Structure 1
Amino acid sequence: MSLGTTECILLTVMAFDRYVAVCQPLHYATVINPGLCQQLAGIAWAIGLVQSIVQTPPTLKLPFCSHRQIDNFVCEVPSLIQHSCGDITYNEIQMAVASIFIVVVPLSLILVSYGAIARAVLKISSAKGRRKAFGTCSSHLIVVTLFYSSVIAVYLQPKNPYA
């Protein structure tokens, strides 16, 4: 999951940005300032770095069979773990815990922020205002949908190679 770590966090930050833009437009310039943006981007990159540092050593210590070939384009931790000849219980537990913090929590925060945005948009009386608010959020919603649908498609595939 380390490939999408930074992206998940940045999508959450973007959802917060859209929330402030729609729900608190008069406070946008004071809430979303350059310093906060730099801090949030730094946190996203730091979490991605820590995730990689934590997952890489245990994965590389696994015994790998010499006759195995990784079919994925990107050599990610799940692909490597799948091709190990040793006990991968620790690695699977570590990935499951990391997935909760890096995929589920950000997705939950994104859904909560868009729930608040939807409530605010529904309170707007003019059709033009609702269109403008929807236009503010639509590009981010498309990115979130594409990112999470591809994550789900890749990581929730059946383990059967013939499926």
Structure 2
Amino acid sequence: MSALYRQLTLRDEADTVALGSRLAAVLTPGMLVFLQGDLGAGKTTLCRGLVRGLGHRGAVKSPTYTLVEPYDNTVPPVYHFDLYRLGDPAELDAIGLRDYLDSEHLCLVEWPGRGDGVLPPADLIITITQVGAGRQADLKAVSLRARRALAALDDRLSGAVT
């Protein structure tokens, strides 16, 4: 199965949050989403839009120091990982990574490269890069369910995110 790609222009932070909210409407429990990009690219901002799009009303912070932030009050529940400070991929086994990866939760992983060799393959890979004053989001659907999600996302794209 070949991957499905989408490339979106994000003019500002509001566009990044809006993309996260739109993704919330199409992603399904059990999916693993990798978020790639430089520091300050907007990975956590996109996660904030996604988690709020799933019903969370509180703060959405980067779990840089805790490695994982659970959002059990969303539908589906979300585990948000930030592996930036991970010293060794083997540490993921120590925190019980496999227990987090189940069919009931949506898992968002920032800095997935730091978990190489331990993390399973992603369903969806989102790479955010700075382009001028804005950002570009490249979405690559690897699994069948991510392909379906991106196809559904097309129907929801209008307004700020193009």
Range class of TM-score, shorter chain: under 0.3
More strand by share: 2
TM (norm. structure 2) is 0.23
User: Quick check: which has more Rg, 1 or 2?
Assistant: 1
More helix by share: 1
